[in-house]
Structure 1
Amino acid sequence: MLDDLDKSIIRALQHDGRKSYAKLAPEVGLSQAAVRQRVQRLTESGVIQVVAVTDPLSVGFTIQAMVGINADGDLRSIGAELGKLAEIDYVVVASGRYDLLVEVVCENSKDLFDLVNDVIRSTPGVRSAEVFTYLDLVKQTYTWGTR
């Protein structure tokens, strides 16, 4: 269970994941040591990750797409199997038209085709896959706060 101090730390790190404990401490009203302990606990429990988020198009990838997948069988198992692929950065079990949605990042259109045709569609349990290539990224944020 997150308390108000945990939530304050999370909100601050969502805006600047590199903020030092020395700068966080007065913002949240704790000592540096207490902030460090809380961040460590939040990290170890999987509540937060502190990572460098890159723009795939700026680091050599030219194609991003969402793939809608219809599947038979255990959706979590199929999703976990697809999640092992390096090109897939996001997997969700969904309601609606598709059973699973996976986001893929590829170097080029040939790699996207090969991934979908040779790997995703041949994964046991996958019945069909529809690709939605991204034309323009309008918004991507990681600062949704806490509740």
Structure 2
Amino acid sequence: MLDEIDRALIHALQLDGRAPYSRVGEVLGVSTQTVARRFNRLRAEAGLRVIGLPDPQRAGRALWLVRLTATPHVAQDLAAALARRPDTSWIKFTAGGTEIVSIVNSTPTDGSALLLNDLPRTTGITSVSAQYLLHMYVGGPTAWRGRAKSLTPAQAAAFIATPTDRGPSKPLGDGDAKLLTALGEDGRATHADLAVRTGWSTATVARRLDELHQAGAIYFDVDVDPTALGYTTSAMLWLSVPPAHLDAVGRALAEHDELGFVAATTGRTNLVTQALCASPDALHTYLTERVGAIEHITAIETVPVLRTVKAAAPFSPSLVGLRT
């Protein structure tokens, strides 16, 4: 379990993933060395990572929510193989360990290769369902509220940049690929490190990074083991909502601290969420008292998450099995 300083550090990084340790320490009232030591410990023990990601719409990416089942003897290897791909994220084992849920990025250049070519040719897969992610209410640039409750309003304000009117930015292009790859591995990489990775000067890196961030073309997310925050029980909730009420229900659910992900999708179930609770009993209470109080949800399927193989950051074998 984390203490108040750990939780405040995670909250600060959620607001400004590249905030210098010195500024974090000043706001939290601790030394720069304490912040650096806490960050390194959380990285080692709780999988804390800051990652820079492109906004899917600006990057021309379509996001698919893929739900597949596989025979028991191939499920583990299949999940590991999916995790190593650069076009996948949030790979989870659910149900009895033979169901895998994943988000797949599709671009005009790859032509949905994973969905159209690779998965159909894979032996051991018994069913596949793929639906468009139409709109994310929680997830992506909109952070999970459950890990952003530790700072006071005054402290939080110190990490929220004031938008500046810089005019339209140059859109994401092929020249940004190396920058995005580096930020996806470490969103806190220094300008010098990014210059080495991109072949640009440090001044060019700083200018382009600032331009993309200010324009909302990229955002910084925090990846951390939810169990370290006290959330030991997780489940995917597949909801059916009449289209006329879908947005209202999605917005209502987005206000729930228990949900780390809320998105509208195509398909028979058109709203999917991930619940993160302290215990099975807490999940039961959440479902019956909070979700059950929302009108217009006509059906719900609750599927336990057994293990997260890959989160938003690139695959790291040392983190497999860490998160629930």
TM bracket (short chain): 0.7 to 0.9
**TM superposition shift of 1:77:** 2.8
Q: What is the TM-score normalised by the length of structure 2?
A: 0.41
**Separation (CA, whole Å) in 2 of partners of 1:39 and 1:53:** 20
Query: How much does 1:2 deviate?
Result: 0.9
1:123 aligned onto 2:294: yes
Residue 77 (1) aligns with residue 248 (2)? yes
Matches within 5 A, 1:12-91: 12-72=182-242, 73-91=244-262
State the AA in 2 paired with 1:70.
S
How far has the Cα of 1:88 moved from its partner?
A: 0.9
What letter corresponds to residue 54 of structure 1 in structure 2?
V
Gaps of 5+ in 2: 1-170, 316-324
Percent identity for Structure 1 against Structure 2: 27
Q: Which residue of 2 aligns with 1:11?
A: 181
Q: Give CA-to-partner distance per residue, 1:24-69, whole Å, 9 cap, x none.
A: 0132122222212222222233332223310112332111111011
Deviations 1:59-103 (A, max 9, x none): 321111110111122323321221121111111112223110001
In structure 2, what is the Cα distance between the partners aligned to 1:141 and 1:117? 30
- Call closer, same or farther: CA 1:37–1:81 in 2, change over 3 Å: farther
Post-superposition shift, 1:137? 2.4
For the 8 Å contact 2:262–2:274, the answer to whether it is kept is: yes
Q: Which residue of 1 aligns with 2:64?
A: none
Task: Specify every segment of 5 or more residues in structure 1 that has no aligned partner in the other structure, as ranges.
Answer: none
Cα 1:41/1:111, change in 2 over 3 Å: farther
Distance 2:248 2:277 in 1: 23
Q: Which residue of 1 aligns with 2:84?
A: none
Contact 1:120–1:129 under 8 Å retained in 2: no
1:67 aligned partner, one-letter code: L
Q: Deviations over 1:124-144 (max 9, x none)?
A: 322222211112223334339
Contact between 2:223 and 2:313, CA under 8 Å: does it hold in 1?
A: no
Corresponding pairs, count: 144
Distance of 2:252 and 2:215 partners within structure 1: 23
Distance 1:77 1:38 in 2: 37
Given candidates 126, 137, 142, the residue that maps to 2:313 is 142
CA-based RMSD of the aligned residues comes to: 1.9
Instruction: Check whether the contact 1:66–1:102 (CA below 8 A) recurs between aligned residues.
Output: yes
Task: Say which of 89, 93, 108 aligns to 2:264.
Answer: 93
Q: Using the alignment, how far apart are the partners of 1:35 and 1:125 within structure 2?
A: 48
Q: Following superposition of structure 1 onto structure 2, how do residues 105-120 of structure 1 map, counting pairs within 5 Å?
A: 105-120=276-291
TM-score, normalised to structure 1, is: 0.86
Q: Distance in 2 between matches of 1:121 and 1:44?
A: 39
